Structure 1
């Protein structure tokens, strides 16, 4: 604009100077011209027409085409004028096919008909987009260094399914006009879409330097220093966040906030930048800092809504669900106060804040242990995020799939979490948090080779990050599920105890000797190792014993004594030997029936009872069929038989090394112990006695259980007076193997819960 105005001063008869003024005053891909601009543009193009006689035929064609864009009538249909201009530019290109500037301006005229909506959300080109791309590619084929064509091509391709097509233009453009801040910035639109967050950050850092120099030299005011310059800072903060440089992200976000805050009343659209400090704090899980942030001014509805959201996330992340719920209600009230058509970037503010509501609701549900509701709301959040209009940085810049994938991992559904993290990486390539989540998902499925490959990707993506990631961070909650990969698990100690029942029991022990005692009883042919995926997650405040029951693991294998009352007597004798007056007894499968027997025989010793994969009786067709196979066993027990038996009890894939060790533990048992234990289990029938168990009881059952059906769980819950039944979705018989984090959460919550009434 300044150049064209200066040209008009130097040569008042220069028609193309007036043409340039009119062109620059019009709408562009980023901003719609207002009424005063359109009036001035119309006047300028009329001057150009008046001076056109002195221009060349080629120049007159430019002026005549641009005259279609403006009208003296303030009520004129601006969109129709834009279409007329596009049609005129098409004719100009037809007349002058070798004029690359004309072709570039023709492409821009098409782009301005639907700014930022050249591609649908599912990656399909809008009407005219393919012609725009083809036109610009035609220019670049003949002149790869055409500044305008490279600029517009980046915009034309960035929201497409293949933004990498713009990499060559990005590399060229950053060198073509080093003093033009916006053009220096433009490559970052491609870099951020292709996962090169370091280059995206550098482009914007360089653009900020260029723009500062321009603003200081020119004294520019208005839209450019307020919007374009701060857009660079916004983009820089977003690139830092994706690159794992959170201290830089927060520092830059606060600089952005300080820049725009004094100008909000004069230019309200600047509010779109204000919430980014909250975004950065939530992304970094800086909950204390978020709660220290002061409430924004009341008239800043969007900023205040984000502030409420951030506070809610901080409270939910520290398991203060009631306080998080209160913030949620205030967020909803603020959202309702926002006009339905109020913009936030390229989206509606309500559309963006709807994502915040779903994500916060999901985290509140997760904090309350409601996994089903958490997943439902987080999936709604993903859908709402995907419905937000395209922009860079995104108008909603907290990828909900990171939280959804984390919630799925926390519930033990590693296979589904893998799908979610892969979908997030398709949307945001090389997102370090998504790579970390994918790596963890693969590890938990035993896909070790793939996990190692993703580990290398993650290490490269996160090599310059200033923060370490943990599994706990993915879940978005603090301490409740004890999931941090950085958490120091209590050390395991192994020992033997010689009992008054005449046997020696081997056991694993961990935790505070003064802590609440918890005794873990494994299933048929297992050992203490059955709880190896659980022990590292349990709090150090619990004094935990994982026993090798008689005949199993590294304990004695007497010639007889394999009925439930024998096993139960050993456990009580173990408690005597350790000076335990009472304990929470946790039993899986066979261990759950032993736990029932202890509660019947010595109720005063059982503070709480947790039954995993249990029933009212062992006897059913599945177990009887297994007995028939066990009766045929000889020594050594075939490894194939042991592996098929153990594999038949699981639904979710488990790591190969874990399953190998489980099978190895089963193979420690001679065939006679397999047979004697099976016979002893089938000899018991406790149905008529269950009503005598008054102990608070938690029944845990996977809905893909293959041994004991749902009907048995309902019957068990009905017969135990103080029982709670909890069902794990997509989980098999050994739910503490498949969902160790969720199991630990439920176990610890049950232990600390008040006595049922």
Structure 2
């Protein structure tokens, strides 16, 4: 066990009883002003709402439960509980346990007196998400988003209505370049909200999500740094600026904040579970360390994360637990090690729930095998990805199915290259790159585990098409400034 692993283990053991340390005081969370008809739930409701805007869903639910216990007739407390059981911008959807808890809250809420027309509108929006047990998740989100945005239109002076309207718009926005108009509108709404409510967490948080796009990242730098001033010890608030730092290639700042975020999670963990903000921050930090060539540092923080057996069983954990270990050999071009990555993943996660995360591991193994000459192993990986593809089709996971298509084409391209078919290899790799560029990255990741367009640059360089390889690497750097592998690829080509 490395020193960092030991330190992290001791840190968690030493704070098992300090759950939610530093986040129970609303003064450390920002400011909201949300009038309700509840007589006794005020402080707990306010804390829950603040944490909800920070996307600290588990902690927010605890506060809303406290509000419901203090005032059993408070419909908005049940609204808050129901809101914490789905997470609009997070990929993967709610867990089965969250779905059950959310439906229970919605059932209670449906029979309660809303208290006012405004509160009834908020309640109607969350109930729209839970209507129809067989309604697909994306359709549920769209139903909630439409009603949530309507609240902002009806209540233009309600800061929370404006904040949730931007969250709803981001939720319903398309992927890739087509998202830009929606992202600008959602971000500018939050820029305006900061003028009127400078302490409102949503005005910072949702603006960062809006500007987490290659075309808009410059707009997010000021607000990213400002977010830290209103929530100095909230794990997700500490992490969120790194979305912008990653887009701009500010690796040292990303490492610093993600380490602070991870440490805050460990300090505030109650010992039963380590929430997914911890592995999420570690994945971002691993990525940033690798861009600086700090491979051992990346390995140490990854080992610390993997030592914990009580990580939260949720998609954010699954993604990080699959992606972070795969990034290291892929970023280093250690193809043989990538091919030997274990097919068994972290035991804390129920992996059949998250096939899109499992696909990352098989992509890494398949690409590593293909690029190290083990065609049989690469074909085996393609077979596993084909099985995962069938599951994703059954679940209507269109975004992840598109990425899976790009992953398969990437492996197939290098198999074709190994067989001497340069034309097929180039065509497949271009198709993979075009797919990734079109769909963009999900908020859960600092970037694709190994960008297909960068792999296209590698392939073109191997073929000897220097001009096209330079174009590919430069295209990657326009999307991801200061990416080490693309910079090094350009350096190698310049030295020829």
**What is the TM-score when the length of structure 2 is the normalising length?**
0.72
Aligned to 2:4: none
Q: In the alignment, does 2:326 pair up with 1:278?
A: yes
Aligned to 1:326: 376
Aligned to 1:378: 429
1:712-723 mapped onto 2 (5 Å cutoff): none
Aligned to 1:65: 121
Distance 1:162 1:142, change over 3 A: same
Per-residue deviation, residues 255-312 of structure 1 (Å, max 9, x unmatched): 445547x779x66885433432233212212345445544427987767765555455
Aligned counterparts of 1:67 and 1:159: Cα–Cα separation in 2 = 32
Distance 1:248 1:110, change over 3 A: same
Distance 1:153 1:19, change over 3 A: same
Offset of residue 207 of structure 1: 0.6
Residue 202 of structure 1 aligns to a residue whose secondary structure is: helix
Aligned to 1:146: 200
User: Structure 1 or 2: larger helix share?
Assistant: 2
Aligned to 1:340: 390
Per-residue deviation, residues 412-444 of structure 1 (Å, max 9, x unmatched): 433222211111111111112222323444455
Aligned to 1:3: 63
Offset of residue 206 of structure 1: 0.7
Aligned to 2:283: 234
Please, which of 201, 221, 242 is the counterpart of residue 188 of structure 1?
242
Aligned to 2:149: 86
Aligned to 2:113: 49
Contact 2:279 2:316 in 1 (8 A): no
Aligned counterparts of 1:350 and 1:26: Cα–Cα separation in 2 = 22
Contact 2:337 2:368 in 1 (8 A): no
Offset of residue 149 of structure 1: 0.8
Q: Which structure has the larger Rg?
A: 1
Please, which of 97, 101, 105 is the counterpart of residue 164 of structure 2?
105
Aligned counterparts of 1:316 and 1:84: Cα–Cα separation in 2 = 49
**What is the TM-score when the length of structure 1 is the normalising length?**
0.49
Offset of residue 152 of structure 1: 0.7
Contact 1:340 1:350 in 2 (8 A): no
Q: In the alignment, does 2:121 pair up with 1:40?
A: no
Contact 1:26 1:41 in 2 (8 A): no
Contact 1:424 1:434 in 2 (8 A): yes
Q: In the alignment, does 2:415 pair up with 1:355?
A: no
Aligned to 2:189: 135
Contact 2:249 2:482 in 1 (8 A): yes
Aligned to 2:38: none
Contact 1:352 1:395 in 2 (8 A): no
Offset of residue 328 of structure 1: 2.1
Offset of residue 347 of structure 1: 6.3
Residue 177 of structure 2 aligns to a residue whose secondary structure is: coil
Offset of residue 209 of structure 1: 0.8
Aligned to 1:546: none
Aligned counterparts of 1:23 and 1:267: Cα–Cα separation in 2 = 17
Please, which of 208, 211, 217 is the counterpart of residue 157 of structure 1?
211
CA RMSD, 1 decimal = 3.6
User: Structure 1 or 2: larger strand share?
Assistant: 1
Aligned counterparts of 1:104 and 1:164: Cα–Cα separation in 2 = 21
Aligned to 1:624: none
Aligned to 2:17: none
Q: Which has the higher contact order (CA 8 A, sep 6+)?
A: 2
Aligned counterparts of 1:124 and 1:207: Cα–Cα separation in 2 = 28
Aligned counterparts of 2:178 and 2:315: Cα–Cα separation in 1 = 32
Offset of residue 215 of structure 1: 1.0
Aligned counterparts of 1:214 and 1:19: Cα–Cα separation in 2 = 25
Aligned to 1:122: 177
Q: How many residues align?
A: 416
Q: In the alignment, does 2:218 pair up with 1:168?
A: no
Aligned to 1:203: 257
Offset of residue 331 of structure 1: 1.6
Aligned counterparts of 1:111 and 1:401: Cα–Cα separation in 2 = 26
Offset of residue 314 of structure 1: 4.2
